[in-house]
Structure 1
């Protein structure tokens, strides 16, 4: 049986284009996406790059999520993940109600251990576990934070809000991710922590990166750098500053501003030499490895796929690096390899993405689009290619 799910990104683009009574040539002119590239994207022969998706979403005045098809409701339902979203929404809504008389919270020490455990689960790609536990922990910590009124309590609550943001982002619920960030900012302000304030702007910028709104995203990166500059000198400040530069490098790369992208990378590299590998500071994985991984990503965003593949070949990722970030890296490598015609290597990278963090890879738009593009060449790929499509589900 044919393995290619019928509703990939290219099919959705074609459907949206026809709904707006646009020809392929008209949409190409409106979006700036080359005509021949648009044809191949609609046919599923090429995956739509994030830059192309952003251009097409603006031209057709739709959200990026509409084009990439998130959230993938059929698969979420099959994996029993959809039922976990409503409790998270409810937990985020009680932030300002004060102490809940029906909740007897544990100590802040216990709650901090749980917050670190959930951050570790997300980094390990255990999305279902994080989604299952975070709502109840947010409600418990909300009461604890209001009870103690201390910076420590608010920062623990901010950590749980970060976990809800991660869950929402990885499962494709953009509105829930935005709400989680708003709550993170609310808690960080009560803790009066400039480092958290800078981290908030970084995560906020990433939401605009995913939405294809690069100019606003870059302004948020700049705001984050100004905010973090108000913090006292510390390793945490350096890590967040470096991560902001890495976010800015991808933002500029996706906007095809090579000069600015490379400037951000250079700044991040300078800071990484000072911090060394910092995989567990404020839920971030900053350091020389992350700079190198981002260099691969930026080169791909700039459509320099040959250089991205070459750079990836010389990159060794430590075994203890976060599985979620490693899986994302292999998804980016697979896309670059696909664009350079290295189909077997691309599929091998998709397999690595799945093996490293299967729950994350299954709901990663880049994984799905790369798979859809490789389908045209599936006769030159191993039999496991078809089973990979079945694993992804029916809505790629």
Structure 2
């Protein structure tokens, strides 16, 4: 390992530790490593192995890729783990025998996986989900009554976290399979709101196939069958469907439908506090982010709307990292189309700081970085570096 690479990783660990007001002793204790090892890592005289790096990142509450200077390593770790996810769901209906943790521990593990998904920490998901999915399948098929319904809900939620990785990293067949398993398990939960969530996630298959009009039809069907918006959960479930429908309508070029669904989402969003409902962020801020996405998807005369929103409002830090980074990726595209190349690059850098893996795997971010590099090839060394990081060269 090159000495300057070890030094840079050590510096990043130290910087993140200090930002969280942790001493070296605090971090070593939280990461279950020796203090002397941590000191050597921060000094740049020792490079952490995969397990140690993951432990340090987990103790700092960040994704391991934030500590690495390159991107190939993290990407390869995710892609190398995808076959393990496939294997974990291959025998979803006939799981092998093995240990099963108590329900409370499984509930905690699934909740943690959801946290990683919302924070775009895909390395953590691929490391933990294959075993968790197998364990959940064992528990589900051995259960009855209320416990079976709850385990079905945990399965749906865990499948969604696995799907986030598969979809973001281009494993479309695996993503489609995971979504079908969500649809298989959700009737066992007896939750109409969770059925709406699965319909929301299913839209990925229509985005991937560029089948936007059928996707809009599917979402409108889901809205018709959603629970009445009474209570925060039901209101958020219906509102999220309208929010998603507005985006896919804009991709289909259906301006009228996009406006209608966005207005419905705004009305429902104003009735609940911003929060995570059945694993989906919804509320006034999430609707504003989707309004920018709709404007950019419609293009042409609508792009100015995205710029106008960004002048008056930015997503607050409390929103999930994946959603906030998506806002800046959309904004970067609007700025690029408006001839604001410097602003566009700044937005891409903000997106990377918020959620590096999500930004790097986003096709719009990669395409726009390549375009910016062509436009400013002669005068931006940092832009070239960014383009190399995101794989746009």
TM-score range, shorter chain: 0.7 to 0.9
1:273 and 2:264 matched: no
SS in 1 for 2:77: coil
Q: 2:78 aligns with which of 56, 73, 81?
A: 81
Displacement of 1:380 = 6.9
Mapped partners of 1:371, 1:232: distance in 2: 41
Q: 1:208 aligns with which of 206, 209, 215?
A: 206
Q: 1:297 aligns with which of 293, 305, 308?
A: 293
The change in CA–CA distance for 1:270 and 1:232 in structure 2 (over 3 A counts) is closer
- Assess if the C-alpha contact under 8 Å between 1:344 and 1:381 holds in 2: no
1:172 and 2:167 matched: no
> What's 2:102 paired with?
107
Mapped partners of 2:313, 2:165: distance in 1: 28
Aligned residues: 318
Mapped partners of 1:153, 1:269: distance in 2: 33
- Assess if the C-alpha contact under 8 Å between 1:168 and 1:174 holds in 2: yes
- Assess if the C-alpha contact under 8 Å between 1:202 and 1:220 holds in 2: no
> What's 2:194 paired with?
196
1:386 and 2:381 matched: no
Mapped partners of 2:381, 2:232: distance in 1: 48
1:10-25 mapped onto 2 (5 Å cutoff): none
1:376 and 2:371 matched: no
Q: 2:128 aligns with which of 107, 112, 133?
A: 133
> What's 1:116 paired with?
111
Q: TM-score, normalised by structure 1?
A: 0.77
Q: 1:261 aligns with which of 258, 261, 285?
A: 258
Mapped partners of 2:285, 2:380: distance in 1: 31
> What's 2:222 paired with?
224
Mapped partners of 1:118, 1:381: distance in 2: 42
The change in CA–CA distance for 1:76 and 1:173 in structure 2 (over 3 A counts) is farther
Q: In the TM superposition, what whole-angstrom CA distance separates every residue of 1:112-165 from its partner, at most 9, and x where no partner exists?
A: 111110111111121111111111100011111112232111111111111111
Mapped partners of 1:76, 1:239: distance in 2: 38
Q: 1:329 aligns with which of 327, 336, 348?
A: 327
The change in CA–CA distance for 1:182 and 1:339 in structure 2 (over 3 A counts) is same
Mapped partners of 2:243, 2:346: distance in 1: 27
1:35-46 mapped onto 2 (5 Å cutoff): none
Mapped partners of 2:75, 2:202: distance in 1: 30
> What's 1:241 paired with?
238
Q: 1:148 aligns with which of 143, 155, 166?
A: 143
- Assess if the C-alpha contact under 8 Å between 2:84 and 2:130 holds in 1: yes
Mapped partners of 1:297, 1:169: distance in 2: 19
- Assess if the C-alpha contact under 8 Å between 1:115 and 1:160 holds in 2: yes
Displacement of 1:392 = 1.6
Mapped partners of 1:78, 1:275: distance in 2: 37
Displacement of 1:172 = 1.3
Question: Considering only aligned residues, what root-mean-square deviation do their CA atoms show, in Å?
Answer: 1.8
- Assess if the C-alpha contact under 8 Å between 2:296 and 2:306 holds in 1: yes
Mapped partners of 1:333, 1:381: distance in 2: 23
> What's 1:186 paired with?
184
SS in 1 for 2:281: strand
Displacement of 1:81 = 2.1
Displacement of 1:359 = 1.2
Displacement of 1:331 = 0.6
Displacement of 1:90 = 0.9
- Assess if the C-alpha contact under 8 Å between 2:377 and 2:384 holds in 1: no
Displacement of 1:207 = 2.2
Mapped partners of 2:362, 2:197: distance in 1: 23
- Unmatched segments (≥5 aa) in structure 2: 1-70
Displacement of 1:76 = 7.7
SS in 2 for 1:311: helix
SS in 1 for 2:372: helix
Mapped partners of 1:180, 1:152: distance in 2: 19
Displacement of 1:220 = 1.0
Q: TM-score, normalised by structure 2?
A: 0.77
Displacement of 1:96 = 0.8
Q: In the TM superposition, what whole-angstrom CA distance separates every residue of 1:25-79 from its partner, at most 9, and x where no partner exists?
A: xxxxxxxxxxxxxxxxxxxxxxxxxxxxxxxxxxxxxxxxxxxxxxxxx958863
